[in-house]
Amino acid sequence: MSEGESTQAAEWDARYGERGDAMWSGRPNGRLVAEVEGLTPGRALDVGCGEGADAIWLASQGWMVTAIDISQVALDRARRAADAAGVAVDWRCGDALQTRFDAGSFDLVSLQYPALPKAAGDEAVGALLESVRTGGLLLAVYHDLDHDHREHMRARGVDPDDYVGVDDLLGLLHPSFTVERHATEPRVDPPPGTPHIADVILLARRR
């Protein structure tokens, strides 16, 4: 593991560790459910899977799921939740931008509120996008951050511009992708009390 990777891992482990037993709601993201429910299951990759609720939901729908997160603390929780739910997921602890997945190997690559550092470089992001199979879907969902929210994050030492955003993904999509939707829409089934009530969505299919 590189120094940058272990720093990131330690930061996310600390964030998860501060939140007692769970940082997230334990429910799958509403947008994922809305977009994927009813699709024929295949192989899915959940990038930055956190405590695993999306991966577990996908597995319960019949998908063969690989789920990666840089935080071991989050993945330990995800594993326990999957055991309790009685589903199997291939959990990977590591940096999604340093892990090479086979090109064209997933029917669905899902990034739900990812926090992937731009410092990893375009090639690494491009390789991740290349893991979508012909006919497969890329679904990337981001919080719609207004000016105040961005400033609030900067005041906490996190600059959203340092992270791979939806425009970066759009710029790196191979011409074999067709963008089916790039839109800002109300968040589906947001957790109670969250300030994040709108999503920026990118749905692209590989032809």
User: Given the complex with ligand SAM, which of 71 and 131 has the nearer CB atom?
Assistant: 71
CB 180 to ligand SAM: min, Å: 21
CB 202 to ligand SAM: min, Å: 15
φ/ψ (deg, to 5) at 176:
-70, -5
Give CA–CA dist 138/132, Å, rounded. Answer: 7
Tokens encoding 42:
């295949």
User: Given the complex with ligand SAM, which of 120 and 173 has the nearer CB atom?
Assistant: 120
Backbone Cα Rg of the chain: 16
CB 91 to ligand SAM: min, Å: 12
User: Given the complex with ligand SAM, which of 36 and 70 has the nearer CB atom?
Assistant: 70
Contact 138, 203 (CB under 8 A): yes
CB 206 to ligand SAM: min, Å: 22
CB 207 to ligand SAM: min, Å: 27
Tokens encoding 184:
């800002």
User: Given the complex with ligand SAM, which of 74 and 169 has the nearer CB atom?
Assistant: 74
Site residues for ligand SAM per CB under 6 A: 8, 12, 24, 29, 48-50, 68-71, 74, 95-97, 112-116
Question: How many beta carbons lie within 10 A of that of residue 96, not counting itself?
Answer: 23
CA dist list (Å): 60 to 77, 88, 109, 163? 17, 9, 17, 31
User: Given the complex with ligand SAM, which of 72 and 105 has the nearer CB atom?
Assistant: 72
Give CA–CA dist 5/16, Å, rounded. Answer: 16
User: What's the CA dihedral at 196, 186, 78, 50 to 10 degrees?
Assistant: -50
